[in-house]
């Protein structure tokens, strides 16, 4: 039974630095949603929170247009079809994913939704984690952009996060020596004891740069989620023909202008390559990656963690966990409950 009102979250102002309580506006609106031809009415169950969302609320050129003031905040989510319009290919009860945004309910065209084919041995949240954007980013970033090979030394920053934790494990599967970088003792213990990296370094330790030199020596692939000072230092520790995978630069997302790199000349002397990428470009190959990642999950050789925040009203505040390191693994918001077996 549909409620009389529902909640959605819109962009109210563009924050110069961290997201604040006035960045977004929570709106309770009458429930007047009715799917038309080829459309579905979706009750959102889980919403993915991603560092990229911080970029989408800046008024700047990027790979997607900025979210406009007053618009429902962008975000990837999955939910349950509670009504299918005439001619829709979906049926009531289907679980579908898509860029549904920060809302409890919405009407969407069939073509922007994709049915989730849940399988035994998987967690439904895997579709926002290892089988979603972050897992695919880890897979293609490391294998296609980084071209990791057995015996090489791989360094991963943001290693205890959703993307980094999968990169570390794929690196081990491919026979690399893996050194992980994360921001707490607990995260480093998880990376070493549960995920099996060769060494995890706490970048908040006063001895971090010495530890990096001692444990890494020189690196072949740097999978960077963080940017800033750690990237600048890593550039001084390159083997010849090293590859730097510029996946993200979360240390700079809340700043108006990054400080920049002073050590980039090492790219020349070491004949190294630094390359950014956007996972959306790999969409035609998602199926091949998902097949292999799903097999790893089912056999238990790929581990994952989820950090679940309850309620859409807490999504804005939870975004800052990504910047304070409050999350381990994939950060998601549970927007609604369902009676359906997930
Ligand atoms: N290129 C692409 O297509 C693509 C796709 C998906 C994600 N990404 C990028 O991948 C990166 C990771 O995304 P995610 O969704 O997996 O997030 P995540 O790693 O789960 O969460 C972000 C983590 O970054 C670390 N961090 C935050 N501020 C930091 C700082 N100043 N210095 C060092 N570490 C910091 C925190 O862990 P600590 O406790 O260790 O500090 C935090 O838990 C982001 O940069 C994101 O933009 C890129």
pLDDT of residue 222: 99
In a domain, 289, yes or no: no
Per-residue model confidence as pLDDT tens digits over 75-85: 999 999 999 99
Our answer on whether the CB atom of 278 is closer than 6 Å to any ligand 1 atom is yes
Q: In this structure, are 121 and 137 located in the same domain?
A: no
Query: Is there a domain that residue 300 lies in?
Result: no
pLDDT tens for each residue of 108-155: 999 999 999 999 999 999 999 999 999 999 999 999 999 999 999 999
% of the chain at pLDDT higher than 90: 96
Helices (H), 50-159: 52-56, 133-140
Indicate if ligand 1 lies below 6 Å from the C-beta of 322. yes
118, 150: one domain: no
Q: Is 247 in the pocket of ligand 1 (CB under 6 A)?
A: yes
**Do 225 and 328 reside in the same domain of the chain?**
no
Same domain (yes/no): 90, 217? no
Where residue 103 sits, what CATH number does that domain have? Answer: 3.90.180.10
Pair 115, 174 in one domain: no
Q: Are 31 and 128 in contact (CB under 8 A)?
A: no
User: How many A from CA of 247 to the centre of ligand 1?
Assistant: 9
Q: pLDDT tens for residues 87-99?
A: 999 999 999 999 9
212 within domain boundaries: yes
Closest listed residue to residue 78, CA positions, set 334, 331, 250, 322: 334
Are 4 and 28 a contacting pair, CB within 8 Å?
A: no
Same-domain pairing of 137 and 197: yes
Distance (angstroms) between ligand 1 centre and the Cα of 196 equals 20
Domain boundary among 265, 280, 295: 280
Q: Are residues 196 and 268 in the same domain?
A: yes
pLDDT at 338: 86
Residue 339 pLDDT more than 90?
A: no
Average confidence (pLDDT) over 1-19: 94
Q: How confident is the model at residue 2 (pLDDT cuts 50, 70, 90)?
A: confident
Judged by DSSP in three states, 70 sits in coil
Work out the pLDDT band at 59, boundaries 50, 70, 90: very high
Domain assignment present for 57: yes
Q: How many domains does the chain have?
A: 2
Contact indicator for 56, 19 with CB cutoff of 8 Å:
no
Q: Is 34 in the same domain as 115?
A: yes
Could you list the residue range(s) of the whole structural domain that residue 245 is in?
133-280
**So what's the pLDDT on residue 340?**
78
Distance (Å) from CA 161 to ligand 1 centroid: 6
CA 250 to chain centre: 11
Residues 207 and 260 in one domain: yes
Q: Which residues pair with 222 in a beta bridge?
A: 155, 244
Q: Which of 264, 280, 296 is the endpoint of a domain?
A: 280
pLDDT score of 268 more than 90: yes
User: What is the CATH number for 265?
Assistant: 3.40.50.720
Cα separation, 336 vs 207, whole angstroms: 44
pLDDT number for residue 330: 98
Pair 104, 199 in one domain: no
In a domain, 185, yes or no: yes
With respect to residue 97, please indicate whether it lies within any of the assigned structural domains: yes
Whether 274 and 166 map to the same domain: the answer is: yes
Instruction: Label residue 215 by pLDDT band (50, 70, 90).
Output: very high
- Does pLDDT of 342 surpass 90? no
Ligand 1 close to Cβ of residue 328 (< 6 A): no
Q: Are residues 119 and 140 in the same domain?
A: no
Ligand 1 centroid – CA 50 distance (Å): 8
CA atoms within 13 A of residue 313's CA, in its CB half-sphere? 4
User: Is residue 162 lining ligand 1, measured as CB closer than 6 Å?
Assistant: yes
- At residue 220, the pLDDT reads 99
pLDDT surpassing 80 at residue 1: no
- Mean pLDDT taken over the chain: 97
């Amino acid at each position: 039974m549909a409620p009389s009102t529902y909640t959605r979250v819109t962009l109210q102002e563009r924050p110069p630095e961290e997201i604040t309580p006035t960045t977004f506006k929570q709106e309770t609106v009458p429930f007047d949603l009715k799917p038309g031809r080829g459309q579905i009415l979706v009750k959102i169950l889980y919403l993915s929170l991603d560092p990229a969302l911080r970029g989408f609320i800046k008024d700047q050129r990027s790979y997607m247009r900025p979210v406009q003031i007053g618009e429902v905040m962008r975000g990837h989510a999955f939910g349950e079809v509670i009504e299918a319009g005439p001619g829709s290919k979906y049926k009531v009860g289907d679980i579908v994913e898509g860029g549904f945004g920060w809302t409890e309910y919405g009407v969407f065209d069939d073509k922007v939704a994709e049915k989730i084919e849940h399988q035994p041995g998987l967690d439904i949240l895997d579709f926002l984690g290892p089988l979603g954007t972050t897992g695919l980013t880890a897979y293609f970033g490391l294998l296609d952009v980084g071209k990791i090979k057995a015996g090489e030394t791989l360094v991963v920053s943001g290693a205890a996060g959703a993307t980094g934790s999968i990169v570390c494990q794929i690196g081990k599967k491919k026979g690399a020596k893996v050194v992980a970088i994360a921001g707490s003792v607990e995260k480093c213990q998880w990376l070493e004891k549960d995920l099996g990296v060769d060494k995890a370094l706490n970048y908040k330790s006063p001895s971090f740069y010495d530890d990096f030199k001692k444990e890494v020596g020189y690196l072949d692939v740097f999978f960077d989620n963080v940017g800033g000072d750690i990237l600048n230092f890593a550039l001084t520790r390159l083997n010849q023909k090293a590859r730097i995978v510029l996946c993200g630069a979360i240390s700079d997302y809340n700043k108006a202008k990054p400080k920049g790199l002073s050590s980039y000349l090492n790219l020349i002397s070491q004949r190294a390559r630094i390359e950014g990428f956007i996972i959306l470009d790999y969409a035609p190959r998602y199926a091949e990656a998902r097949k292999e990642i799903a097999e790893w999950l089912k056999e238990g050789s790929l581990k994952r963690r989820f950090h679940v925040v309850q309620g859409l009203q807490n999504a804005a505040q939870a975004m800052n966990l990504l910047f304070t390191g409050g999350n381990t693994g994939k950060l998601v918001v549970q927007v609604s409950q369902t009676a359906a077996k997930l």
